[in-house]
């Protein structure tokens, strides 16, 4: 498993390639900027290793506490944190939910202190309109976040596969299920061994 510094280097080295591909596919400077920004954020601060005390977790500084429930709820390198698309989606939903809670709580405080009244229905419609109107921008940002996270768990998988190859050769690259089946088959073909201390009961 590569170190946090190695993950950072992979992110920075891949940045020009991601930028070039994004501009080639979108032909848009704004969308390319969102993809690139999402890629950097996903690779350096919003990646799969937020489920442990990692460099990504430490970069949140005083806001690290918001990821403590996330860490306690997930097992490290589980499908929910390191799974393609699933991991990024869960982190986006988690962070967006916290942001929404803080925003609503802040508006309620402002409403009470300054005797202001917010039109919550209009606020909800504004949010829906913003999401629908800027759907391509949100999609570009999500793709950048996912690609940044993908560079992380692909390097994890590649590092683990290389170590298994060094220890076990080609067998180390085979799926574990096949390895277990082979072990069970080899044990099943063995002869049965009678226990040494077995005694015959007299009739």
- Predicted TM-score of the model (pTM): 0.75
Kindly report, residue by residue over 173-202, the tens digit of the pLDDT: 566 544 444 444 445 555 444 544 444 444
Kindly indicate the confidence band of residue 44, based on its pLDDT and cuts at 50, 70 and 90.
very high
**Crossing angle of helices 120-133 and 135-168, rounded to 10°:** 60
Burial class (CB in 10 A: 0-12, 13-18, 19+), 7: buried
**Helix, strand, coil percent values for the chain (each to nearest 5):** 80, 0, 20
Q: Looking at residue 127, what is its pLDDT?
A: 87
Q: Are 71 and 51 in contact (CB under 8 A)?
A: yes
Kindly report, residue by residue over 134-174, the tens digit of the pLDDT: 999 999 999 999 999 988 777 766 555 445 545 655 554 56
Kindly report, residue by residue over 48-74, the tens digit of the pLDDT: 999 999 999 999 999 999 999 999 999
Structural domain boundaries of the chain?
A: 4-174
Distances in Å between the alpha carbon of 131 and those of 32, 59, 126, 135?
Answer: 19, 28, 9, 6
Q: Looking at residue 43, what is its pLDDT?
A: 92
Kindly indicate the confidence band of residue 31, based on its pLDDT and cuts at 50, 70 and 90.
very high
Q: Looking at residue 181, what is its pLDDT?
A: 47
Kindly report, residue by residue over 84-127, the tens digit of the pLDDT: 999 999 999 999 999 999 988 988 888 788 877 777 788 888 88
Q: Looking at residue 116, what is its pLDDT?
A: 75
Report which of 104, 10, 98, 88 is spatially closest to residue 49, judged by C-alpha positions: 88
Q: Looking at residue 87, what is its pLDDT?
A: 94
């Amino acid at each position: 498993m590569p170190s946090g510094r190695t993950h950072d280097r992979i992110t920075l080295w891949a940045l020009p390639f991601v930028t070039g591909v994004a501009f080639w596919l979108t032909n848009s400077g704004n969308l390319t900027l969102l993809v690139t920004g999402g890629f950097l954020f996903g690779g350096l601060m919003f990646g799969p290793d937020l489920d442990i005390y990692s460099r990504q977790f430490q970069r949140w500084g005083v806001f690290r506490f918001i990821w403590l429930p996330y860490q306690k709820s997930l097992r490290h390198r589980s499908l929910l944190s390191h799974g393609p698309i699933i991991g990024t989606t869960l982190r986006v939903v988690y962070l967006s939910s916290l942001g929404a809670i803080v925003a609503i709580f802040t508006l309620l405080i402002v409403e009470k202190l300054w005797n202001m009244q917010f039109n919550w229905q209009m606020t909800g419609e504004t949010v829906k309109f913003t999401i629908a109107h800027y759907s391509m921008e949100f999609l570009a940002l999500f793709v950048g976040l996912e690609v940044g996270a993908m560079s992380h768990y692909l390097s994890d998988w590649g590092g683990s596969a290389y170590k298994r190859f060094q220890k076990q050769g080609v067998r180390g690259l085979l799926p574990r299920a096949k390895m277990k089946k082979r072990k069970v088959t080899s044990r099943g073909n063995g002869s049965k061994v009678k226990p040494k201390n077995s005694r015959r009961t007299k009739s």
